[in-house]
């Protein structure tokens, strides 16, 4: 949860870029962490629910127009994310990766694991993903997301 992440960042005095001491940068991180619950998380989880979980629980396929609506909702919040939070910067809080970037990318991996490549045709978003993965370490990132990226093989 967000509360646990903030607690851990404070308790273990993580490098400043994760949860910046600079008030403006911290405000950007806090702003994103407050916004993402009802936008990125809600819309990305819905894609995962409809593409992965619902087919396991029902024999009736999801009507294509329903899935199109779910994807359209996710794409709308992704556009907001790019325009309001990335704004052409390398990361949400500026030039360094933060908890906001980590939380954002983790949430976006759910629809990717469900088979929806939301980074396709979104070069700014794809470049941001690449920077976040590099900052965390590509191997660690892949390891951490192995389960969700292989969910359809279970």
pLDDT at 152 > cutoff 80: no
Query: Where do the domains of the chain lie, and which CATH numbers do they carry?
Result: 1-150 (1.20.1050.10)
What pLDDT does 153 receive?
Answer: 66
What pLDDT does 147 receive?
Answer: 87
User: Which of 3-7, 49-53, 146-150 shows the highest mean pLDDT?
Assistant: 3-7
Prediction pTM value: 0.92
What pLDDT does 102 receive?
Answer: 96
Check: CB of residue 118 under 8 Å from CB of residue 111: yes
Q: What is the pLDDT of residues 49-80, one digit of tens each?
A: 998 888 888 877 778 899 999 999 999 999 99
Rg (CA), the chain: 16
| DSSP code, position 63 | P
Q: How far is CA 48 from CA 23, 41, 107, 145, in A?
A: 35, 10, 11, 14
| DSSP code, position 58 | -
3-state SS class at 94: strand
Across 9-17, average pLDDT:
94
Across 87-113, average pLDDT:
96
pLDDT at 81 > cutoff 80: yes
């Amino acid at each position: 949860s967000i509360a646990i992440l903030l607690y851990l960042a404070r308790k273990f005095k993580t490098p400043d870029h994760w949860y910046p001491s600079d008030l403006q940068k911290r405000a950007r991180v806090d702003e994103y962490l407050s916004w993402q619950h009802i936008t990125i998380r809600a819309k990305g989880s819905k894609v995962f629910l409809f593409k992965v979980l619902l087919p396991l629980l029902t024999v009736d396929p999801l009507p294509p127009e329903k899935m199109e609506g779910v994807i359209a909702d996710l794409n709308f919040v992704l556009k907001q994310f790019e325009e309001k939070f990335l704004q052409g910067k390398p990361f949400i809080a500026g030039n360094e990766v933060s908890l906001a970037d980590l939380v954002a990318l983790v949430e976006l991996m759910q629809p990717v694991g469900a088979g929806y490549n939301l980074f396709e045709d979104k070069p700014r978003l794809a470049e941001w993903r690449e920077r976040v993965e590099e900052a965390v370490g590509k191997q660690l990132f892949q390891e951490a997301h192995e389960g969700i990226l292989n969910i359809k093989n279970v």
